[in-house]
Amino acid sequence: MNGTRGFRWFASALVLLALVAANAALAQAPAAASAPLPDGYMRAPPVAAGLAPQMKVTETQGTAHVFEAIFSPGDEILSGLTDLAIKHHITSGYVTGLGGLSGALLGFGDPALGAFAKVDVQEKCELVSLTGHIQMRDGAPYVHLHAIVALKDGSTKAGHVFQLPVAPIAEISVVATAIGEH
């Protein structure tokens, strides 16, 4: 087992152990569930069924292709992932990742204007969450990403990704759920 696989196995085992411990703690908490809560707090309500009548679901079966993309200083993540999707004929997939950035250009969608309010981060920041999808749009792969970046004071900025320049490194996973001709 090489170092990366060993680390992933170890990290997965730690997450599983933490989930088991958290579940055991929650199972022992019914007495606390009836205690009053401070103002502004709430207990999780039951999830109501049937509140998404317009949801559309597509089921696919098959083996996913996983790409691990390591970005270096000066690389731009959205451009690199778009190049990866085109080169490897990815027609559907999802993206997750983290890393360091020299800044970020994000946007907050405003449907009334059909545009984005600019969220411009012009300082070193940490990419603490990157998530998105790859899908076909107008006959070509389209990479749709959202990100949360943390600033040195601990505050965060988030939104639709337009630019993520890397500094010093970013590690991005792409799971291609469909590969075809385009």
Per-residue pLDDT at 96: 98
Which residue do the tokens 């730690």 mark?
14
Of the pLDDT bands very low, low, confident and very high (cuts 50, 70, 90), residue 33 is low
Q: Which residues contact 84 (CB under 8 A, 6 or more apart)?
A: 67, 69, 90, 174
Residue 133: is it exposed, middle or buried by C-beta count within 10 angstroms (0-12/13-18/19+)?
Answer: middle
pTM above 0.75, yes or no: no
Mean pLDDT along residues 52-56: 89
Residue type, 60: T
